[in-house]
Amino acid sequence: MNIREQYELLEEKILSPLATKSKDTMGRLKPEEKCSIRTDFQRDRDRIIHSKAFRRLKHKTQVFIAPEGDHYRTRLTHTLEVSQIARTISRALRLNEDLTEAIALGHDLGHTPFGHTGEKVLDKISKNGFKHYEQSLRVVDFLERGTGLNLTYEVRNGILCHSGDLIADTNEGKVVKLADKIAYINHDIDDAIRAGILSFDDLPKECIKVLGKGHSDRINTMITSVINYALKFGEISLTGEIGQATWELREFMFKNVYIGSKAKTEEEKAVKMLETLYYYYINNIHKLPNEFKNKIDVWGEERVVCDFIAGMTDRYAINEFVNIYVPMPWGRIF
């Protein structure tokens, strides 16, 4: 019995009946030989961490566009916070922590430059539409490495279902969906206060009374509520008084930070920039990198241009725009 098989046997002994066991995976899109050391979900996690798409998250917007302050969250730090919260819940419930972590680390791989602003732009101007959670699945299925990462069904399903109305097939996927919300509600409050957009006194007092005054207090309250509900009812949910306070706080953030606040003062510029880049490449398809041009016959021009732009970091998009449309001083040309 090799190390992987020993660990799979250990999972049978220690994981909850609510957990997804590694040996019970529904498999990969393309069959491949199993690792002698790592379970399938461990391999998925490692493939995501070592991907270029994962590394690019460090230069993609969370809320504040191309932030220069060292302490503002980016899409990468958001991802790590989601992973930490999701792992805490999964460990307490004896779910499969490797599966949870793989889903959490991969959930935002398809996010555009400038966060949800970029997502809205591509969704509006592309006839195919655009959703970041669908693009995240597209990254791991097709785009990364040029052929995809060939992840297991459970990880792919969790990535696809982490946002919107879709519900994951696994409890680990459901945990990540809640952890995503717990993470961004709280860390975006922290960033908004740091940026001077909010003060602590602006936060809804009834919500704070229920959830706690401090950043870690609120996260702990939400996590504990999810764990206690799951232990009692066998379902992954954030309900009751704490759930209501959480969703009210989330609504407050949409009204006061995510829409129309000082955090969005540069949004119109980002919209114009991405629209301009999109139509530039549609009209100059030969300017695309070869790895994208080679896929036009398979996916079509619009899909390939969306893939290229969605993969850009904030600073890469800005540099592309400058290189294409901003004239360089004569002395810099030669």
Alpha helices in 15-146 (DSSP H): 40-49, 52-56, 75-93, 97-106, 115-125, 132-138
Instruction: Give residue 333's pLDDT.
Output: 55
Check residues 319 and 265 and name the one with the higher pLDDT. Answer: 319
CATH at residue 99: 1.10.3210.10
Token output for 23: 């040996």
| Residue 275: inside a domain | no
Span 75-131, pLDDT tens digits: 999 999 999 999 999 999 999 999 999 999 999 999 999 999 999 999 999 999 999
Q: Determine the average pLDDT of the residues in 30-48.
A: 98
Instruction: Give residue 266's pLDDT.
Output: 82
Spatial CB neighbours of 219, under 8 Å, sequence gap ≥ 6: 85, 182, 186
Span 313-326, pLDDT tens digits: 999 999 999 999 99
pLDDT higher than threshold 90 for residue 71: no
Instruction: Give residue 329's pLDDT.
Output: 78
Instruction: Give residue 334's pLDDT.
Output: 52
What is the extent of the structural domain holding 218? 3-7+38-264
Task: Tell me how far apart the alpha carbons of residues 249 and 50 are, in angstroms, rounded to a whole number.
Answer: 35
pLDDT, the chain, mean? 95
Q: Are 256 and 264 in contact (CB under 8 A)?
A: no
| Residue 135: inside a domain | yes
| Residue 309: inside a domain | no
Farthest-apart Cα atoms in the chain, separation: 70
Percentage of residues in the chain with pLDDT exceeding 70? 97
DSSP, collapsed to helix, strand or coil, labels residue 210 as helix
pTM of structure: 0.96
pLDDT higher than threshold 70 for residue 267: yes
| CA atoms within a 13 Å half-sphere pointing along the CA-CB vector of 189 | 25
Rg (CA), the chain: 21
pLDDT higher than threshold 90 for residue 331: no
Instruction: Give residue 186's pLDDT.
Output: 97
| Residue 323: inside a domain | no
Q: Are 168 and 174 in contact (CB under 8 A)?
A: yes
Domain count, the chain: 1
Q: Determine the average pLDDT of the residues in 39-52.
A: 98
H or E stretch covering 154: helix 153-160
| Residue 59: inside a domain | yes
Instruction: Give residue 67's pLDDT.
Output: 66
Instruction: Give residue 70's pLDDT.
Output: 82
Instruction: Give residue 69's pLDDT.
Output: 73
pLDDT higher than threshold 80 for residue 261: no
pLDDT higher than threshold 80 for residue 66: no
Instruction: Give residue 332's pLDDT.
Output: 60
pLDDT higher than threshold 80 for residue 330: no
Output the CA–CA distances (angstroms, integers) from residue 150 to 7, 128, 161, 243, in the order listed: 22, 24, 18, 36
Check residues 306 and 263 and name the one with the higher pLDDT. Answer: 306
In the chain, what are the helix, strand and coil shares in percent, each to the nearest 5? 65, 0, 30
Task: Tell me how far apart the alpha carbons of residues 122 and 310 are, in angstroms, rounded to a whole number.
Answer: 8
Percentage of residues in the chain with pLDDT exceeding 90? 91
Check residues 264 and 170 and name the one with the higher pLDDT. Answer: 170
Tell the burial category of 75 from Cβ atoms under 10 Å away from its Cβ (0-12, 13-18, 19+): buried
| Residue 202: inside a domain | yes
Instruction: Give residue 270's pLDDT.
Output: 93
Q: Are 256 and 277 in contact (CB under 8 A)?
A: no
Span 130-139, pLDDT tens digits: 999 999 999 9
| Residue 45: inside a domain | yes
| Residue 320: inside a domain | no
